[in-house]
Amino acid sequence: MFSKVRGGSRLRAAAVAAVVATASAVAVSGAQAQEPVDYVNLGDSFSAGAGVQPTVPGSHPNCSRSERNFAHVVAASRGYALTDVSCGGAKTEDFYRAQYPGLAPQLDALTESTDLVTMTIGGNNNNTFAMAMARCIGAAVARLGAWNPCQEQYGDSLADEVRTQTYPALLQALRDVHDRAPNAEVAIVGYPWLLPASGSCVPQMPLAAGDVPYLHSLQATLNDAVARAAAETGTVFVDMAQSSTGRDGCQTPEQRWIEPMIGALQPVPVHPNAAGEQGMADAVLAAVG
């Protein structure tokens, strides 16, 4: 009789130990599940949300990093732990160097524990956006009434710079992002359309009518370079071409995602407004797991 009781006690003790062990495992698993996704946002002014107020407190004033940029919207939507080192004016070179005194190279934000990386980058390489826009506005002023003075002057040279210089720089930058964050899902966002495919954009963008499709085509070349670099490196390409069509800087304030050169409603023209950053966030949320 006594031996049976003692055996039953041992069984009950083993059962209790198993329950305790299971509960501990569940508790540990639950704690791990509650750890937020380690999310890092890199990149340039489109990634930083330059011009969209308010800016992130304590961030470098030259970076114009917005609390409403697409990365902040994504992080808030999913409860991710965001480290945002995006900065207006950044080139791929700034992944490796201090863009301004006191700023670390952007790649320094990445570690083996990083789960998700997003960015826009490449538009400032060779001053593709700013210089092309300035050159074409200058050409329109110098040759009033000409149909496509910028295209006549520069031809395919601007697009060739993207193909031969920006593309390999993007390729290397994305490879290095993956090396620094080997366990992360990496996504690069294409640039939303600044201009329509055709038509005059005066007065919002003081360009000759024939140079509007010329600059649109240049941006398409840049986005193609981004997409090809993403495909080559196993990076998610977040394509903004379809969703941003009809929302360029030539549209009405209610419709546009890009603020125009003339009549901008934010401090940084020819950049996404809050609606544009939200549109980019929606595209990222649909693309990444």
Among the options 45, 47, 66, 86, which is catalytic? Answer: 45
45 in catalytic set: yes
Long-range contacts formed by 179-182: CB under 8 A, 24+ apart: 180/107, 180/110, 180/111, 180/114, 181/40, 181/110, 181/111, 181/112, 181/114, 181/117, 182/112
Among the options 64, 72, 243, 271, which is catalytic? Answer: 271
Contact of 149 with 208, CB cutoff 8 Å: yes
DSSP state of 194: S
For CA atoms 58, 63, 69, 72, the dihedral sign is: negative
Rounded CA separation 191/198 (Å): 18
Burial of 285 (0-12, 13-18, 19+ CB in 10 A): middle
Give the number of C-alpha atoms closer than 13 A to the C-alpha of residue 214, restricted to the C-beta side.
25
Place of tokens 């601007």: 158
Q: Which residues are catalytic?
A: 45, 271
